């Protein structure tokens, strides 16, 4: 056996075996260190940002991850073809695959991360728990044995005591997890957890843990080098989660006292030290408010690593690469300082109003605020890119730093507010509502907080005021002026002579059920807008982008307006608004989709049928389960009725809009 340190050496060309935001993130640091970067991509990602950013890029294969980003043979062949000497796995995909780490090593490539043996030891939730138990790290009570039969699992659950949590042993991203509150539900939950685990990780082994009610999630960043140095870089708190997936992460934890911080960091060093860990990793704990219990180790960089970078001033990707070069870590434990507070929000292509259904399609508008001191945007997409149903729906992360937690939250809020994405639906308004929620500011939260507050966090927009109506008019005028090459309501319009009379033009807008009429008066003299009999002096000027400076009776304000056909997106100081412009000359199309049908909201695979044809069903009753973007989505009855027909079977791959079931409404 070779000594671990001989695995690492200086290299010049790095292949990044990933896509999206993480590939872009790694490329940025690698280039700054003078490395030559090689991207890999699938047929769906020909024009992706990570491909454009890298020095070289190699096509792996078809869109399906199995044929591209998860295909070890093709990635190794790509490395060989481009002369890459090292491979950075990013996170997700093959980042925690011991097989991939080993295959890289066998091919003479440096794997930027731990060895296959360390991944095997720590990468499995069951295996790492056994190790931690031996090392004396506190664990949640649970069963993590090999036997997976029904009796063993139900006896284990009974012994632990309900509620319990079933987890995929190979799990990640909250997939394959089920909370079980009563013994009767155990079997069906095991079946569905195993099914999801098999689909996501090709491994259906599960473990059972005591479900800690209303816990907090606390994790410690560690990094080790090949010279035996191992450091902890403080903790992150990731308690704001939905379906066990992190939504907002911050560092340091606002919950821990100084003594608790030291204790949890020491436990993390002990955990990583148990395998003489090399590379960046995270030790995760749940806390019931008093004690912390080890749940798992992630043997890779994490999505939320930027908050640690912002409070320590360390570039973790740079350090990962230095470790891979065989260098010792540049600082010692007592040289690592905690400075200020950082908080990150994950921007997803998903629709919170429709149970967070992933959203796919072309990004028609992508506007993010400029990165300034204390505001960082890690994006994997830009305007014109296509969000494909084949991959994870995370688009970007907005990260803010400030000397205090309160100021960091304000900065994040502003950063989110100044972000506009159109063409696909995103969770940005939901994130804004979340970070400004009183309980979040007060750190009065637990992992179930989002689920409980969902209605408040996804509630509909406020009604328009005259500001938004004036903004809508300015947007229409701006777009008309752009299309004819001059200002549509200029008195010198078209033929160059001054108009003698005052002219008016009426606009009508709809927001939900409400209709609003606005009259623009222009021509000789200053223009004005009439709303409900009130006259407002009106002028505007626009730049090249979506922003418009409005001047209403001398009060100036900046707004953002984007028009797509008859749909207007307006962002003002009052928030975001979607308005429908009722064009007197245009034809308004109505959506005639039949309400008695259940259609696939996105392309996916039918994984379970949950109701029988002929059955009487109540509104909200589960009809079938669809796997969309690796997540199971249960489609439910929109009203009381009888299930007339099921138009699909388990295993069917269905297209967006495909009719899956028909329900006859109750008379």
Q: Does 205 bind ligand ADP (CB under 6 A)?
A: no
Least Å distance, CB 127 to ligand ADP, is: 13
Count of residues engaged in binding ligand ADP, rule: CB under 6 A:
22
Q: Does 129 bind ligand ADP (CB under 6 A)?
A: no
Compute the CA torsion angle 468, 471, 476, 478 (nearest 10 deg).
Answer: -170
Distance CA 113, CA 91 (A): 11
Name the nearest CA neighbour of 75 among 93, 92, 91: 93
416-to-44, 208, 335, 398, 435 alpha-carbon distances in Å: 28, 38, 33, 7, 10
Bridge partners for 234 per DSSP: none
Given the residues 178, 216, 261, 300, select the one marked as catalytic. 300
Q: Does 212 bind ligand ADP (CB under 6 A)?
A: yes
Q: Does 296 bind ligand ADP (CB under 6 A)?
A: yes
For ligand ADP, the binding residue among 91, 211, 391, 581 (CB under 6 A) is 211
Distance CA 505, CA 353 (A): 35
- How far, in whole angstroms, is CA 111 from its chain's centroid? 26
For ligand ADP, the binding residue among 167, 341, 376, 437 (CB under 6 A) is 167
Name the nearest CA neighbour of 148 among 163, 164, 168, 131: 168
Q: Does 207 bind ligand ADP (CB under 6 A)?
A: no
Which residue number, 286 or 424, has a Cβ lying nearer to ligand ADP? 286
Mapped onto helix, strand or coil, the DSSP state of residue 39 is: strand
Q: Does 286 bind ligand ADP (CB under 6 A)?
A: yes
Least Å distance, CB 300 to ligand ADP, is: 11
Q: Does 200 bind ligand ADP (CB under 6 A)?
A: no
Least Å distance, CB 171 to ligand ADP, is: 4
Q: Does 292 bind ligand ADP (CB under 6 A)?
A: no
Q: Does 284 bind ligand ADP (CB under 6 A)?
A: yes
Any idea how long the chain is? 667
Q: Does 312 bind ligand ADP (CB under 6 A)?
A: no
Q: Does 165 bind ligand ADP (CB under 6 A)?
A: yes
Name the nearest CA neighbour of 71 among 104, 52, 94: 94
For ligand ADP, the binding residue among 90, 114, 172, 358 (CB under 6 A) is 172
For ligand ADP, the binding residue among 121, 248, 295, 329 (CB under 6 A) is 295
Q: Does 40 bind ligand ADP (CB under 6 A)?
A: no
Distance CA 190, CA 168 (A): 10
> Is 571 annotated in the active site?
no
Do 557 and 573 touch, CB atoms closer than 8 A?
A: yes
Distance CA 123, CA 106 (A): 20
Q: Does 173 bind ligand ADP (CB under 6 A)?
A: yes
Least Å distance, CB 172 to ligand ADP, is: 4
The residues, ordered by sequence, that sit 6+ positions from 484 with a Cβ below 8 Å of its Cβ are none
Q: Does 171 bind ligand ADP (CB under 6 A)?
A: yes
Distance CA 444, CA 423 (A): 35
Q: Does 447 bind ligand ADP (CB under 6 A)?
A: yes
Mapped onto helix, strand or coil, the DSSP state of residue 444 is: coil
Give the binding site for ligand ADP (CB under 6 A).
140, 165, 167, 171-175, 177, 209-212, 215, 217, 241, 244, 284, 286, 295-296, 447
Enumerate the active-site residues: 300
């Amino acid at each position: 056996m070779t000594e671990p340190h001989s695995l690492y050496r200086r290299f010049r060309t790095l292949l990044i075996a990933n896509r999206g935001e993480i590939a872009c993130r790694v490329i940025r640091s690698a280039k700054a260190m003078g490395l030559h970067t090689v991207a890999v991509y699938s047929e769906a990602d020909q024009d992706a940002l990570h491909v454009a950013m890298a020095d070289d890029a190699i096509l792996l294969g078809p869109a399906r991850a199995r044929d591209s980003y998860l295909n070890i043979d093709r990635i190794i062949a790509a490395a060989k073809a481009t002369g890459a000497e090292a491979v950075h796995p990013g996170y997700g995909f093959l980042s925690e695959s011991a097989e991939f780490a080993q295959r890289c090593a066998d091919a003479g490539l440096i794997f930027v991360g731990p060895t296959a043996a360390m991944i095997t030891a720590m990468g499995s939730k069951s295996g790492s728990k056994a190790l931690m138990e031996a090392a004396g790290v506190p664990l949640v009570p649970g069963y993590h044995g090999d036997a997976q039969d029904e009796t063993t699992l139900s006896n284990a659950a009974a012994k632990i005591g309900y509620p319990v949590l079933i987890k995929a042993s190979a799990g990640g991203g909250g997939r394959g997890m089920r909370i079980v509150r009563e013994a009767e539900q155990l079997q069906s939950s095991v079946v569905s957890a195993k099914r999801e685990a098999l689909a996501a990780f090709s491994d259906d082994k599960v473990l059972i843990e005591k479900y800690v009610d209303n816990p907090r999630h606390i994790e410690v960043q560690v990094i080790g080098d090949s010279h035996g140095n191992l450091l902890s870089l403080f903790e992150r708190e990731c308690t704001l989660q939905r379906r066990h997936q992190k939504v907002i992460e911050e560092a340091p934890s606002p919950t821990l006292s100084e003594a608790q911080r030291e204790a949890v960091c020491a436990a993390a060093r002990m955990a990583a030290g148990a395998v003489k860990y090399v590379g960046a990793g995270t030790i995760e704990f749940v806390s019931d408010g008093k004690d912390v219990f080890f749940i798992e180790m992630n043997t890779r960089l994490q999505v939320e690593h930027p908050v640690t970078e912002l409070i320590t001033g360390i570039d973790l990707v740079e350090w990962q690469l230095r470790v891979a070069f065989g260098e010792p870590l540049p600082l010692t434990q007592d040289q690592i300082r905690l400075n200020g507070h950082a908080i990150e929000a994950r921007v997803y292509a998903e629709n919170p109003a429709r149970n967070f259904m992933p959203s796919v399609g072309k990004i028609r508008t992508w506007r993010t605020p400029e990165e300034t001191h204390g505001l960082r945007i890690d994006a994997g997409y830009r305007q014109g890119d296509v969000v494909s149903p084949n991959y994870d729906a995370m688009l970007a992360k907005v990260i803010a730093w400030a000397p205090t937690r309160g100021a960091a939250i304000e900065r994040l809020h502003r950063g989110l507010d100044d972000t506009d994405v159109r063409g696909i639906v995103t969770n940005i308004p939901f994130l804004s509502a979340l970070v400004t929620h009183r309980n979040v500011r007060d750190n009065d939260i637990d992992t179930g907080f989002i689920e409980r507050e969902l209605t408040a966090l996804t509630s509909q927009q406020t009604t328009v005021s005259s500001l938004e109506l004036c903004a809508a008019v300015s947007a229409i005028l701006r777009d008309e002026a752009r299309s004819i090459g001059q200002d549509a309501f200029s008195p010198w319009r078209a033929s160059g002579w001054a108009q003698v009379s005052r002219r008016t033009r009426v606009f009508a807008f709809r927001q939900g059920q409400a209709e609003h009429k606005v009259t623009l008066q222009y021509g000789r003299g200053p223009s004005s807008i009439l709303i409900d009999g009130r006259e407002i002096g009106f002028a505007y000027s626009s730049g090249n982008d979506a922003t418009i400076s409005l001047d209403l009776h001398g009060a100036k304000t900046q707004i953002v307006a984007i028009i797509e056909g008859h749909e207007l997106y307006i962002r003002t100081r009052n928030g975001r608004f979607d308005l429908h412009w009722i064009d007197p000359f245009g034809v308004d199309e109505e959506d005639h989709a039949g309400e008695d049908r259940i259609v696939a909201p996105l392309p996916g695979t039918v994984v379970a049928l949950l109701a029988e044809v002929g059955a009487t069903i109540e509104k909200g009753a589960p009809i079938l389960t669809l796997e969309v973007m690796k997540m199971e989505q249960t489609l439910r009855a929109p009203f009381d009725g009888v299930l007339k027909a099921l138009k699909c079977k388990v295993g069917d791959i269905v297209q967006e809009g495909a009719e899956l079931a028909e329900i006859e409404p109750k008379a």
